[in-house]
Amino acid sequence: MIFRRFATVAIAILFTACGGAGSGSETTTGKPAGGIADGKALIEQGDFTRGAALFEKIVEEQPASAEAHYYLGVCLQNLNDLIRAEQEYVVAIERDPDLMEAHNNLGLLLMDKGDLAGAKKALTLYLEKNQAEADAHYNYGLLLAAMDQTSAARSSLEKAAELAPDDPDPWLGLGDLDRAGNRQEEALVNYRKAKEIAPDDPICVLSEGRVLLDMKKIDEATAVLTSISNLSPSDAFTLTTAGMLLARFDKDAEAIALYEAALSKDDSFPRAHILLANALARIGRFADAAGHFEKFIELAPESQEADAARKGLEICRSKASQ
């Protein structure tokens, strides 16, 4: 699983009195918020909705401010308004071509859109200006991997690993390169290097377990994947994914335990409910399965799987009543 490195508030900006407080909403310090520094504080707090509202006001008042457009893009990106985020990054670059973080974020958004040529232009410029930054090499490596330039991608990811020896993500990226090329032994080595760096990172453990399944080392993979439920940072998505992988190899008991662990983290995660319902139905626990089919329908009534869930609910209710 690959994580791109978007920049947030890392750009070097001197926050002077001209970017200070003004009229508007309040920060957590109780002071009225109205300037770039206040917006930056909201981003650091993860309050992207208020941050976006503030930066919308700032760009109206200061349309020439590259920083304001950049930070508005950051907020919009985190609110999943990617079209407008891209527009704000473009404006920020027009206002200040040397604002490298805007090039980085724009490149990653373009990569997600499939505009690899545009992404390469932006990320190449970012890398040229940030040769000592691991994230610059990491993101460029992801781009090269997406362009099927495997050898060059490997070199970039290896450079990122060299520059950031305590970061597991470059090793995960290298593992994904090897796995995509059916070099499973090499992928396992790289995933385990990532796990050595971050033994409590669920993604590192998930990646190791996944490639062990590819290698048909089922018992070893089962032990690795079930261990994810013991990791405090694990979330519903990772636990559900681990369960789904094991269910493909008829490990229903282990899968059920992982789905239940996922729901203990987030009972509103629809995917865990439908997968748990299917697993429970397979082992004859029809009443329990019906309950989870019903919950899935409640949470995701318009999803592509909703009709299948309704059929499953009907069957399970019928069998439970027999």
pLDDT tens figures, 187-238: 999 999 999 999 999 999 999 999 999 999 999 999 999 999 999 999 999 9
| Residue in the structure block whose two tokens are 């990617």 | 82
Token digits of residue 262 = 């996922």
| Residue 5 zone, left/alpha/beta (φ > 0; ψ -120 to 50; rest) | beta
Using alpha carbons, list the distances in angstroms from residue 228 to 41, 175, 187, 224, 249. 34, 19, 19, 7, 18
CB 70, CB 88: distance < 8 Å: yes
Written as one letter, the residue type at 90 is V
C-alpha angle 138-112-245 in degrees, rounded to nearest 5: 80
Q: Once rounded to an integer, what is the mean pLDDT over residues 275-288? A: 97
| Token pair for 265 | 């983290």
d(CA 102, CA 93): 6
Q: For residue 149, give the DSSP letter.
A: -
> What is residue 60's three-state secondary structure?
helix
d(CA 6, CA 104): 7
What is the structure's pLDDT at 7?
Answer: 64
Q: How confident is the model at residue 92 (pLDDT cuts 50, 70, 90)?
A: very high
- Tracing tokens 């190449």 back to the chain, one arrives at 124
Average pLDDT over residues 149-159: 97
Examine the pLDDT at 23 and tell me if it is beyond 60: no
pLDDT at 20: 32
Q: Which residues share a beta bridge with 26?
A: 32
pLDDT, tens only, 238-280: 999 999 999 999 999 999 999 999 999 999 999 999 999 999 9
Cα separation, 56 vs 50, in Å, equals: 10
Q: Are 168 and 195 in contact (CB under 8 A)?
A: yes
Tell me which H or E stretch contains 173: helix 169-180
Average pLDDT, rounded, for the chain: 90
